[in-house]
Amino acid sequence: MRNIRLKIQKFMVGRYGMDKLSTVLLYAGLALIFLFNLLNIPFVGSIGWIAIAISYFRALSKNRPKRFIENQKYLTLNRRMKQKFNQIRNKFYQHKQYKFYTCPNCKRKLRVPRKKGTIKITCPHCKNQFVKKT
């Protein structure tokens, strides 16, 4: 048993290993295969197997810089999607208390309290003033 473990450790020296992108691909592939078995849609199972194969290819790859760059691109995309989702969620929860406007000069999103009538809004970024009704 110990001999097998040493052989696997020697094999994995210099390999990239599992990262966030590989883990997501692996879980997505397993979910697609489960969905294929549940619904019996032909192409879904093959897409799942391809995702798992890509995950293992990434984990066993020796081209570490390229896999690192791919993972960084995935993490950046994932972070942007989470930020966008959080913005939409916050806007949904705050829409009763606040009104959201965009500055006509710098296009920044501004939040002002509701039910204050017609007010003069000053953009804190570009100091542009405009009048809006809340």
pLDDT at 37 over 90: no
Q: What is the pLDDT of residues 45-97, one digit of tens each?
A: 899 999 999 999 999 999 999 999 999 999 999 999 999 999 999 989 998 99
pTM of the model: 0.72
SS (H, E, C) the chain: CHHHHHHHHHHHCCCCCCCHHHHHHHHHHHHHHHHHHHHCCHHHHHHHHHHHHHHHHHHHCCCHHHHHHHHHHHHHHHHHHHHHHHHHHHHHHHCCCEEEEECCCCCCEEEEECCCCEEEEECCCCCCEEEEEC
pLDDT at 68: 95
The domain locations on the chain are: 2-94, 97-134
